[in-house]
Amino acid sequence: MVRPKDRVLSGMRPTGKVHLGNHLGALDNWVTLQDDVDCFFFVANWHALTTDSSHTDEIPGATIEMAADWLGAGLSPERSTLFIQSQVPEHAELHLLFSMVTPVGWLERVPTYKEMVEQLGIESPSYGLLGYPLLQAADILMYKAKYVPVGVDQVPHIELTREIARRFNGAFGQVFPEPEAKLTEIPKVPGTDGRKMSKSYDNCIYLADPPEVITPKINTMVTDPARKRRSDPGNPEVCPVFDFHKIFTPAPERDACAVGCRTAGIGCLDCKGVLLQHLLPPLAEIRERRQRYVAKPREIVDILREGSTKARSVAQATMEHVRQALGIEP
């Protein structure tokens, strides 16, 4: 059970515009959480350097775009603390101290490390990449977060965080509570080509997309491959368009589409038309709000700066406690 004063923390690397997969898989859930618990959400811009430290010039703009999407989706600086990792340098100090109690083998065994190295074809992984989950542990434990809303792919990082907390507490006294992953129920969000929605596949619908961009993306989206002609019956259960219906279209109309599909009573364009009626309005609302922020990037910078000041005072209190527990100064 999540209780009112429980603290929740999560972060995203600044990869730029948020797509519908990120939104439904994480952001939308953050927006809901901020009504009930004490939320800290941050831009993991140091983490962005772990896989590519040569394109730093893209990070400031990507931070603004991503934060605009957060605000557009409904994160509110009055209800949540929104901040930038690098503006709370205490994270680096805690990461350093954690690195002293962490066997290298633990980090080498984290599955995302190998995956990143293989998927991105990194020839010579950096020390920072190996330490990625340790920096994440510092992000989380700094705020003594009880819950960390993340997708399943991040569970090994939360597990490691718990081990680090135990190890640190064992060595220096009870400092950190053990956090729990709060698994977000992630709906299946396919991209326009039917594969998982992902920036690297170039198959995304972005929160920043206006209706005139979303409409053709949906209209050309892959459907049940067996339904070649209008007269062929289809199977909604294997159709990526129908995955969207499950998220956006109310049951009666969705069921009507499914029947129409199976009986070849409707064509795919009709079916997509129904989807667009339910998909476009909520996205338009988010987009209009995000565009108002994008037009005033200074305002976004100020929101993140104020949030970082707030986060930093929590971080400083934690570090006071940590330094005392460590006790290495005369």
Asked if residue 268 binds ligand SF4 (CB under 6 A), the reply is: yes
Q: Number of C-alpha atoms within 13 angstroms, CB side, residue 210?
A: 2
Asked if residue 223 binds ligand TRP (CB under 6 A), the reply is: no
Q: How far apart are CA 279 and CA 296, in angstroms?
A: 27
Tell me the C-alpha to C-alpha distance, in Å, between residue 214 and each of 46, 177, 191, 192, 277.
Answer: 32, 44, 12, 10, 12
Q: How far apart are CA 113 and CA 94, in angstroms?
A: 21
Q: Which of 44, 82, 142, 257 binds ligand TRP (CB under 6 A)?
A: 44
Asked if residue 135 binds ligand SF4 (CB under 6 A), the reply is: no
Question: Amino acid letter at 46?
Answer: W
E strands present in 113-152: 147-150
| Interface region with ligand SF4, contact rule CB under 6 A, candidates 43-51, 169-177, 267-275, 303-311 | 267-275
Cβ partners under 8 Å of residue 251, min gap 6 = none
**Residue found under tokens 């190890």:** 167
Count, residues near ligand TRP per rule CB under 6 A: 13
Rounded least distance, CB 86 to ligand TRP, Å: 12
239 binds, among ligand TRP, ligand SF4, none (CB under 5 to 8 A by kind): ligand SF4
Residue closer to ligand TRP (CB basis): 148 or 275: 148
Q: Which of 7, 23, 47, 182 binds ligand TRP (CB under 6 A)?
A: 47
242 binds, among ligand TRP, ligand SF4, none (CB under 5 to 8 A by kind): ligand SF4
239 contacts 55 by C-beta, under 8 angstroms: no
Rounded least distance, CB 23 to ligand TRP, Å: 14
Residue closer to ligand TRP (CB basis): 95 or 254: 95
Question: Amino acid letter at 109?
Answer: R
Distance of alpha carbon 156 from the chain centroid: 16
Q: Which of 31, 107, 150, 241 binds ligand TRP (CB under 6 A)?
A: 150
171 contacts 101 by C-beta, under 8 angstroms: yes
Residue closer to ligand TRP (CB basis): 178 or 253: 178
Asked if residue 279 binds ligand SF4 (CB under 6 A), the reply is: no
Cβ partners under 8 Å of residue 320, min gap 6 = none
Q: How far apart are CA 251 and CA 137, in angstroms?
A: 41
Q: How far apart are CA 77 and CA 84, in angstroms?
A: 13
| Interface region with ligand TRP, contact rule CB under 6 A, candidates 51-59, 136-144, 251-259, 305-313 | 136-144
Q: Which of 272, 292, 294, 291 is nearest to 214 (CA)?
A: 272
Tell me which residues in 225-244 interact with ligand SF4 (CB under 6 A).
227, 234, 236, 239, 241-242
Rounded least distance, CB 223 to ligand SF4, Å: 4
**Site for ligand SF4, rule CB under 6 A:** 223-224, 227, 234, 236, 239, 241-242, 257, 261, 266, 268, 271-272
Please give the residue ranges that form the binding site for ligand TRP (CB under 6 A). 9-13, 44, 47, 136, 139-140, 148, 150, 154
